[in-house]
């Protein structure tokens, strides 16, 4: 997968999704001040997740979300979806390897610009149950990672990428145990998740079959695997002050048996593998992450929240695939997904306000450090998010939110890492581009 294939990922389903018990009114004089957060403010805090999306780097989409675990209702069901429209446009594209055999042929007569990204949706479903006064458990389905790059065949970089898509499906179970410590409660968090990954990549291997009338020259890689991960964390909350701080670690997921096929039936001119479907295998890891979230009441019906997240995207460099049918493996693999990521950092902050017992709103600003290092289009992003929550009854909550983000400019070209050269097929630049998102969710409490 080209480094440009993952851009404008959004995590609108899990950031700062916090909920609090009822708080008494703020008292005056020398008495201890307490922040007032009534049932309407519960909606306020819950919608902060929608008001602070992050267009994160790497292959992040929905990320990991366990914040429904903190819901104060004995039982709750939540379902939501986010629709994202990234608008990354590549320009000044130049085919830098014009060899008809190793570079696919000279493509510089094709358009030197392309729309790289495709729109996508992020679903989430979760069910939380409380057991007594101390134990809470959450089971959920999410799609934490993914990417879809679709510049097409008619551009000067088709020898690097025509279309690439990665999808994940995550099935998680998380529980917590809480008990009184000082003025608040300490919560221990632990859980596990099962994750599936699948994807494909197509690129123009050679233009020679087109000239000879023997094929399209397009090759395709398909892959799939699954693995397990775990999480552990701590949270401390003081309901009287609408304060919560949580620190949660999510482990890596090892894809040690990443299997699939390389289809070169449309490229019969390739020695040994041309005209064949070859089974291949490789290995990779989904990154681990560590996230700190903090929120506190700052005035009657006002809340401030923020988060800092580190994601270990540097575990994804070049993923090589070798034949499994006894054929020899070329240096660097029969094919590879070249990502060359660095670690990601996401910092977000915002405020929320309860307007009435039924309506609340929030706004946030998020910065995400890009994961590309001269190869690919994963640059820094800035995102402004706004959201609203409507709670017609104590059992129903509906949320809607929108976000607009800026994907900063940059360029992609040749990069040398550990003595190996990457990005030598195509070079391009890109300006400051726009990404937008809409999200809605419904929660039922009982």
Q: How far apart are CA 352 and CA 51, in angstroms?
A: 9
Q: How far apart are CA 410 and CA 156, in angstroms?
A: 18
Instruction: Compute CA 68 distance to the chain's CA centroid, rounded to the nearest angstrom.
Output: 18
From the number of C-beta atoms within 10 Å of its C-beta (0-12, 13-18, 19+), residue 98 rates as: middle
Question: Which residue, 356, 361, 357, 351, is CA-closest to 389?
Answer: 361
pLDDT in tens, 215-266: 999 999 999 999 999 999 999 999 888 899 999 999 999 999 999 999 999 9
- Residue pair 129/77 in contact (Cβ under 8 Å)? The answer is no
pLDDT in tens, 424-437: 999 999 999 999 99
Average of pLDDT values for 58-70? 91
From the number of C-beta atoms within 10 Å of its C-beta (0-12, 13-18, 19+), residue 314 rates as: middle
- Residue pair 412/376 in contact (Cβ under 8 Å)? The answer is yes
How many independent structural domains does the chain possess? 1
Res. 57 pLDDT band, cuts 50 70 90: confident
Q: What is the mean pLDDT of the chain?
A: 88
Q: Whose structure tokens read 């799609």? A: 143
CATH number (domain holding residue 358): 2.40.160.60
Average of pLDDT values for 31-38? 37
Range of the domain at 361: 3-445
């Amino acid at each position: 997968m080209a480094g440009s294939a993952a851009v404008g990922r959004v995590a609108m389903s899990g950031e700062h999704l916090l909920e609090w018990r009822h708080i008494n009114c703020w008292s005056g004089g020398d008495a201890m001040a307490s922040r007032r957060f009534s049932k309407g403010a519960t909606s306020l805090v819950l919608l902060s997740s929608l008001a602070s999306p992050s267009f994160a780097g790497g292959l992040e989409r929905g990320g990991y979300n366990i914040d429904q675990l903190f819901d104060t209702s004995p039982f709750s069901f939540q379902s939501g979806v986010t629709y994202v429209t990234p608008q990354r446009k590549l320009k000044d594209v130049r085919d830098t390897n014009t060899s008809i055999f190793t570079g696919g042929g000279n493509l510089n007569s094709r358009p030197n610009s392309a729309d790289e990204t495709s729109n996508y949706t992020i679903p989430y479903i979760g069910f939380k149950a409380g057991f007594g006064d101390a134990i809470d458990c959450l089971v959920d389905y999410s799609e934490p990672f993914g990417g879809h790059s679709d510049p097409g065949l008619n551009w000067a970089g088709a020898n690097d990428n025509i279309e690439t898509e990665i999808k994940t499906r995550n099935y998680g179970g998380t529980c917590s145990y809480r008990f009184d410590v000082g003025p608040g409660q300490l919560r221990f968090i632990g859980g596990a998740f099962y994750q599936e990954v699948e994807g494909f990549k197509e690129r123009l291997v050679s233009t020679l079959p087109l000239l000879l009338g023997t094929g399209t020259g397009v090759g395709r890689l398909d892959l799939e695997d699954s693995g397990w991960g775990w999480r552990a964390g701590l949270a401390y909350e003081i309901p009287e002050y609408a304060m919560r701080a949580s620190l949660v670690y999510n482990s890596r997921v090892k894809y040690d048996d990443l299997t699939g096929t390389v289809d070169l039936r449309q490229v019969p001119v390739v020695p040994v593998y041309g005209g064949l479907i070859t089974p291949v295998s490789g290995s990779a890891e989904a990154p681990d992450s560590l996230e700190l979230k903090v929120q506190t009441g700052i005035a009657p019906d006002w809340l401030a929240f923020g988060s800092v997240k580190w994601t270990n995207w540097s575990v994804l460099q070049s993923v090589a695939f070798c034949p499994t049918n006894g054929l020899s493996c070329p240096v660097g693999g029969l094919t590879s997904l070249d990502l060359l990521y660095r670690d990601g950092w996401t910092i977000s902050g915002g405020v929320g306000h309860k307007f009435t017992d039924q309506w609340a709103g929030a706004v946030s600003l998020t910065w995400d450090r890009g994961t590309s290092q001269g190869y690919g289009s994963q640059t820094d992003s800035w995102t402004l998010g706004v959201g609203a929550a409507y709670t017609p009854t104590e059992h129903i909550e509906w949320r809607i939110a929108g976000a607009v983000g800026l994907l900063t400019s940059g360029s992609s070209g040749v990069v040398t890492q550990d003595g190996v050269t990457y990005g030598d097929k195509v070079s391009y630049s890109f300006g400051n581009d726009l990404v937008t998102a809409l999200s809605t969710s419904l929660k039922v409490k009982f």
